[in-house]
Amino acid sequence: MGDTVKVYQNFLDPNLIKQIKEHAKKQSMNNVWRSSYSWPESLRRFTSPVLIMNLDSFQIALQDRYRKLKKEWRNIEIHMPKFYAWPPGSYISWHTDQDYEFASFIYLNEKWDINHGGLFLYNSKKRIIGVPPVYNQCILSDHGVPHTISRTTPDAPIRMTVQIFGKIKEKVG
């Protein structure tokens, strides 16, 4: 792709989104969550803790969706799909995700007021471009694209996303 950002509308089947959100809600009392405190200090800085849960049971369905995006991605392997719950005051600082073929996230909030923040910002040819969270929108960035998520406001609802990183499956033999 080469240092680009693509935005896909209506990315997932709404039933899959419903299943993912129901799964996250059911897991709210189980010990399957971790937080952004595991991120490097340069990423987390002063964010409110972001809650993170693996979506292992959705790996195949999500991987199949990404493999349909591009012919050359038939061998793409998505790495650790995760559900993120971003509370008020959360953000992530500028970074590139350069270890992956792509980084992406899918917005799960059915309604989002742009005044609540939480925008995906990226640097394109020395210009900062912002993409607000829109339900079932997938933002996919190549490795090497500098990007950040702007801080959510104190009155923002929990911002829900699915984070997915992709690598090309290495050929064996």
User: Which pTM does this prediction carry?
Assistant: 0.90
Domains and CATH numbers, the chain: 5-168 (2.60.120.620)
The confidence score (pLDDT) of residue 51 equals 96
Mean per-residue pLDDT over the chain, rounded:
90
Strand segments, DSSP code E, in 92-158 are 92-95, 102-107, 120-124, 127-131, 138-142, 147-149
DSSP for residue 155: T
Average pLDDT of the residues in 95-117: 92
The confidence score (pLDDT) of residue 170 equals 64
